[in-house]
Amino acid sequence: MTEQFEPIIIGFTCNWCSYRAADLAGTARLKYPPNIRLIRMMCSGRMDPTFILKALSEGADGILLTGCHPGECHYLEQNYKALRRYLMLRRTLPQFGIEAKRVKLVWASAAEGVRLAREITTFVEEIRALGPLNWKDSRAYNNGYGVAEVEVSTEVPA
């Protein structure tokens, strides 16, 4: 049996809930796979689909978007906008030959360290099952979609 594939996952967190959930997971010494690296933004609403395509094109195998539960956004309703962009992105990704499953949106409040740790663990396994993306070397990317991504992705009806 060959050594198992270790995916690399970029996680986008909201400063007010999911990033603090990550802090909590830490203080509670919960364990989750090291395959994820988190990036802090003030709000999931800041999430620009370009970031995701950027990460995938730079070699990430999966993207975990996290934010406050609907109705609990620190900025009232911006996580709903994140949700809309996410749904739109899920439709766009296949056009680049990327499985929509590689991007996942998860809600986690500041109290849900356990939940976040669990979601990360499951997502890592899901991506492991999908195998590496290697989009950089893939045909779709070199066909120019990789370059075109900015144009496509910024046409976001917010």
Near another protein in 49-68, by CB under 8 A: 50-51, 54-55, 58-60
Q: Which of 48, 83, 88, 152 binds another protein (CB under 8 A)?
A: 48
Question: 63: exposed, middle or buried (C-beta count within 10 Å: 0-12, 13-18, 19+)?
Answer: buried
Q: Which of 38, 17, 47 is nearest to 108 (CA)?
A: 17
Whichever of 44 and 104 has its CB closer to another protein, that residue is 44
Element (H, E) at 63: strand 62-67
Near another protein in 137-156, by CB under 8 A: 137-141, 150, 154-156
Minimum distance between the CB of residue 155 and another protein, rounded to whole angstroms? 7
Question: DSSP alpha helices (H): ranges in 2-43?
Answer: 18-27
18 binds another protein (CB under 8 A): no
Minimum distance between the CB of residue 115 and another protein, rounded to whole angstroms? 8
Q: Which of 70, 83, 85, 125 binds another protein (CB under 8 A)?
A: 85
Minimum distance between the CB of residue 146 and another protein, rounded to whole angstroms? 11
Q: Map residue 76 onto helix, strand or coil.
A: strand
Near another protein in 86-145, by CB under 8 A: 96-98, 109-114, 117-118, 130-135, 137-141
Whichever of 27 and 91 has its CB closer to another protein, that residue is 27
User: And the tokens for 51?
Assistant: 């970031």
Q: Which residues contact 135 (CB under 8 A, 6 or more apart)?
A: 56, 57, 59, 96, 97, 98, 141, 146
Minimum distance between the CB of residue 83 and another protein, rounded to whole angstroms? 12
Residue pointed to by tokens 């949700």: 83
Whichever of 47 and 103 has its CB closer to another protein, that residue is 47
Whole-angstrom distance, CA of residue 157 vs CA of residue 30: 38
